[in-house]
Copies of this chain bind each other. A is one copy, B any other.
Amino acid sequence: MVAMATASHIVTETEADAHPAMEAVVVRFAGDSGDGMQLTGGQFTLSTALAGNDLATFPDFPAEIRAPQGTTFGVSAFQINFGSCAIDTAGDQPDVLIAMNPAALKVNVKELREGGLIIVDDGEFTQRNLAKAGYEASPLEDGSLAKWQLVHFNISALTVEAVKPFGLGNKEALRCKNMWTLGLALWMFDRDRAPIVDWLKTKFAKAPELAEANIAALNAGHAYGETVEIGTPVRRHHIDAAPAEPGLYRTVTGAEALSVGLVAGAQLAGLKMFFAGYPITPASAILHHLARLKEFGITTFQAEDEIAAVCAAIGASYAGQLGVTSSSGPGIALKTEGIGLAVMTELPLVIVNSQRGGPSTGLPTKTEQSDLYQAVYGRNADSPLPVIAARSPSDAFECAIEAVRIATRYMVPVMLLTDGYIANAAEPWKVPDMASYAPFPVSFLEEVPEHDKIVMPYARNEELARPWIKPGTAGLEHRIGGIEKAPGSGNIDYSPEAHAEMTRVRAAKVAGVVHSIPDQAVCLGEDSGELAVVGWGSTYGPIHQAVRRARLRGLNVSHIHIRHIVPMPKNLGPLLKGFKQILVPEMNSGQLKTVLRDHFLVDAQSLSKVSGQPFRIAEIEAAIDGALK
């Protein structure tokens, strides 16, 4: 039943060590879009988290449209990196690949580390499927997989067998394959099945027989690992729980963390939230999350397009709620004219950009961080606004609150950057204690202050913020718009003096945000030295691991990760000047690099990766070596 590929061999000691000590394992589940791999991965993630491992995941599915079964462009994969050390990335090369059909094997096997383990469902290795995947001969026989450990058995048949008692049609029966596979994986890594059994029961509450069937498949897969003599290759891994700060944990995706963070921000500001969006991958998830949270005083509005979305959000802010809008690159492009009006009218607004591969429609389901130029510079005229970037799913929660704080305190639109990787990736999240967050309640102007005789919509407080006036407030009726204004009164004023002054104030206000943000910290390493690796956004994980590994090898390198891109922390300039070299890894062609060189005149060098895939630790580590050799 279990046949080793001819010429396959057992991983040697040296090979084992070549790979960072078994403190972490990278497993990739790959199958057809229809095989439910994302689900399998999600549940495996949960059980892994429950086992107290630290982890990071990377779901990688095909473009929005469903592809025909068995084709390579229809392959959906879910990778998880977990273990007993701190995990910041979904891992580089998988150690274990579970492939449900030939296409899944074809697409993913090249990434498997040498000597890694392949488990395949040979029930799917029919001539037809092999052809669809573009295999002339079956890789299970032709020895082309020699450099890996190969194990294959007929998961399909085993599953159908296992669920027979529940009298499902063949199609339904096969749908349980993923649970069978999950069962095997749980056994391999010594995970508890209970939480998944519970989950299946609630998921199929309406169809108990389906619940039973899936549970049976799960158990069968587990039993299969337990009893059948698979032989050494699939030895039983036991990964110790990772040491983590004590406290209550859950897993969270970036999209959910960001959504919840927006809710928290609105609550801390004492505002109702108006969220306007137009569906677009990978931003839609935020709209979907918020649409269910009406009890928090949230109105969600699916607008006719992105322009209407940003305009409606600005309208809501004008009317006294917290206006929020969200999209990704192409949609943000359409919003830029509207954002200009928010800059001009100085209304609070949070604009979330879940970045994806581009230009144009580009690669909707792939991740990228190439909209930094657009965020910082992408408007007509001198239209500065604060820009913040989240580094991880859990960080998205903090960044969302920060965006709301700045927008309402300074009466300014704020751009919050996240990306497809953060949006979809899951990680364990230490549940925050909301009581520990200081509220920042908004106060609306209720009447004309003594010192003014008439309402002054463009009066300034010491931080240059103008008053927020709600329509409905008697005695404060006034008109605003996108035309240049007289300071104070806000009346139309085209005079050179007014334009020069208002331009100055708009810029000074945004620059002034620097006084309410923390100084830039160094995440890892000394705050001066040979090399600083400076990143932003979702490159945090791979940069951190690469720097950590390099430091373990005794290299003089530090990791600096920037959250506040506009304005930048006061100490950032001096900090950077303290390093001989500066390396900026970005999933774009060097956009943060431009900002750093302009601001600080430092010779920041770009490490660029624009492939729709996150950095691999090794890529950054190699660049560090290159810089320091």
Contact = CB atoms under 8 A, between A and B. Distances in A.
Contact of A380 (B374, B381, B497, B506): B374
Contact of A496 (B307, B328, B589, B611): B611
A613 B413 CA distance: 28
B499 A610 contact: yes
Nearest to A368: B381
A53 to B, nearest CB: 28
Interface string A367-406: 0101101101111111110000000000000000000000
B373 A344 contact: no
A610 B366 contact: no
Given A377-B376, A381-B370, A589-B507, A341 B360 contact: yes
A612 interface: yes
A368 B494 CA distance: 13
Contacts of A329: 340, 380-381
A363 B496 CA distance: 10
Contacts of A307: 334
A63 B498 CA distance: 15
A45 interface: no
Contacts of A365: 494
Contacts of A613: 496
B494 A378 contact: no
A357 interface: yes
A221 interface: no
Given A340-B330, A496-B611, A597-B601, A382 B358 contact: yes
A360 B378 contact: no
Interface in A504-545: 504, 506-507
Interface-central residue, A363, A379, A594, by most chain B CB under 10 Å = A379
B358 A383 contact: yes
A380 B330 CA distance: 7
A146 to B, nearest CB: 24
A359 B377 contact: no
Nearest to A329: B380
Contacts of A494: 62-63, 73, 363, 365-366, 612
Contacts of A333: 336-337, 340, 379-380
B589 A382 contact: yes
A362 B360 CA distance: 29
A208 interface: no
Contact of A379 (B359, B361, B610): B359
A24 B146 CA distance: 87
A340 B371 CA distance: 12
Given A358-B381, A359-B381, A381-B370, A610 B336 contact: no
Contact of A482 (B332, B361, B371): B361
Contacts of A589: 382, 384, 503, 507
Contacts of A598: 593-594, 597-598
Nearest to A366: B494
B362 A381 contact: yes
A328 B612 CA distance: 33
Given A328-B380, A340-B360, A358-B380, 5 more contacts: A344-B359, A362-B483, A368-B381, A484-B612, A494-B612
